[in-house]
């Protein structure tokens, strides 16, 4: 299923929250996400711009297959066409990670991020905070037209939208997530 989502990088999170409130968006939550990302030992998913994500969202745990569609580069300088996402809810973060390991997948890394979500009708506005990155805004909606509506409501420049993964955002900062086994707000632990 296509994930219809764009990012706007390097935002002022306080200013953005004020804009969201001004357009009538309602704050839904503010929480810390914990995730583990998995791949085959030969990183065949990574090589094609895909990954398996296990995410603890507090009240639920999700297991997701994500794949970048229309990958042009891996450096973050060029937008993809879109993202494909297949997601299910699982009951236990630790046991699901163990299951994936026993099935032959490897854990690429563990990450945390903080997310503040606002909702306006069927448009989600997420202000994301990641270790070592400036805050950014994600807009997700059921159609590209709704994405454009959200961009217009916030007075953002459509030319500034990014269609790519957080991995590419890190690449723009000169950070390769694969160099780390843990990326948290307490610190980043190198793989070797």
Write the CATH number for 162. 2.40.320.10
Please, is 145 exposed, middle or buried when counting C-beta atoms within 10 Å of its C-beta (0-12, 13-18, 19+)?
exposed
Q: How far apart are CA 145 and CA 148, in angstroms?
A: 5
Identify the domain containing residue 185 by its residue range: 2-190
Q: What is the pLDDT along the chain (192 residues), one digit of tens a residue?
A: 789 999 999 999 999 999 999 999 999 999 999 999 999 999 999 999 999 999 999 999 999 999 999 888 887 788 889 999 999 999 999 999 999 999 999 999 999 999 999 999 999 999 999 999 999 999 999 999 999 999 999 999 999 999 999 999 999 999 999 999 999 999 999 987
Q: What is the pLDDT of residue 178?
A: 92
φ, ψ at 185 (rounded to 5°): -70, -20
Q: How many structural domains are present in the chain?
A: 1
For residue 1, the model assigns a pLDDT of 79
């Amino acid at each position: 299923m296509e994930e219809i989502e764009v990012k706007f990088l390097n935002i002022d999170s306080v200013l953005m929250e004020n804009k969201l409130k001004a357009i009538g968006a309602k704050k839904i939550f503010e929480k810390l996400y914990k995730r583990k990302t998995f791949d085959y030992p030969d990183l065949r998913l990574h090589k094609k711009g895909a990954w398996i994500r296990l995410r603890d969202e507090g009240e639920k745990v999700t297991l997701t297959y994500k794949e970048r569609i229309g990958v042009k580069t891996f450096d973050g300088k060029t937008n993809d066409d879109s993202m494909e996402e297949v997601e299910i809810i699982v009951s236990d973060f630790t046991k699901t990670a163990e299951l994936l390991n026993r099935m032959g997948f490897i854990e690429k890394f563990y990450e945390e991020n903080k997310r503040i979500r606002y909702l306006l009708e069927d448009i989600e506005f997420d202000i994301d905070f990641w270790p070592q990155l400036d805050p950014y805004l994600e807009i997700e909606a059921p159609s590209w037209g709704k994405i454009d509506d959200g961009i217009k409501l916030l007075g953002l420049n459509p030319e500034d939208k990014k269609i790519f993964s957080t991995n590419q955002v890190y690449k723009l900062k000169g950070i390769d997530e694969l160099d780390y086994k843990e990326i948290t707000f307490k610190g980043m632990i190198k793989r070797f």
